[in-house]
Copies of this chain bind each other. A is one copy, B any other.
Amino acid sequence: MENKIFRNFLGEKGLKPTKERIAVLSEVFSFHGHFEPEYLYLRIKNAGSKASRASVYRTLSLLVECGLVKKVTRTEKGNIYEHTYGHSHHDHMICDACGEIIEFYSEKLENLQDEICAENSFAGSTHTLEIRGHCKKCRTKQS
């Protein structure tokens, strides 16, 4: 479970499992979906725990480093994260008309990407594929 993994990670680096770090960890895994650091900071505050913005940022970096959390994307506003432990990898299709997000996963696609990386002597670790267009609903509505 994520708590164990994080404490282990900290131990190996000579870092300490402080209340603040654990509060961030707990809050990150208390809900599903994407979030910004500021949103997380407010949730922690609201949950009665305490952790400064600085600690939230610092702990998020640690969580990413140990693989429990992933930086999903960078928007004009800032970074967006999601916890990944317990969730499997997927990519997204986003409808330009209604904003619907379709998640998908293709083994073939993943393998093909690995092949392409190898051809380029590149050690790929993560990727983001975002397909934009129009969903079925919006397409039929149009005609």
Q: A2-10, A30-38, A52-60, A118-126: which lies at the B interface?
A: A118-126
How close is A72's CB to chain B, nearest CB, in angstroms? 12
A121 touches which of B74, B112, B125, B136 (Cβ 8 Å):
B136
Chain B residues, CB < 8 A from A108: 112
Q: What 1/0 mask marks residues of chain A from 104 to 143 whose CB sits below 8 Å from any chain B CB?
A: 1010110011001101111111111111111110010000
Contact in complex: A131, B135 (CB < 8 Å): no
Q: What 1/0 mask marks residues of chain A from 74 to 108 whose CB sits below 8 Å from any chain B CB?
A: 11000000000000000001011000001010101
User: What is the oligomeric copy number?
Assistant: 2
Instruction: Report the bound CA distance from A124 to B116 in whole Å.
Output: 22
Instruction: Report the bound CA distance from A108 to B29 in whole Å.
Output: 37
Contact in complex: B127, A130 (CB < 8 Å): yes
Contact in complex: B122, A134 (CB < 8 Å): yes
> Which A positions have Cβ atoms within 8 angstroms of B?
74-75, 93, 95-96, 102, 104, 106, 108-109, 112-113, 116-117, 119-136, 139
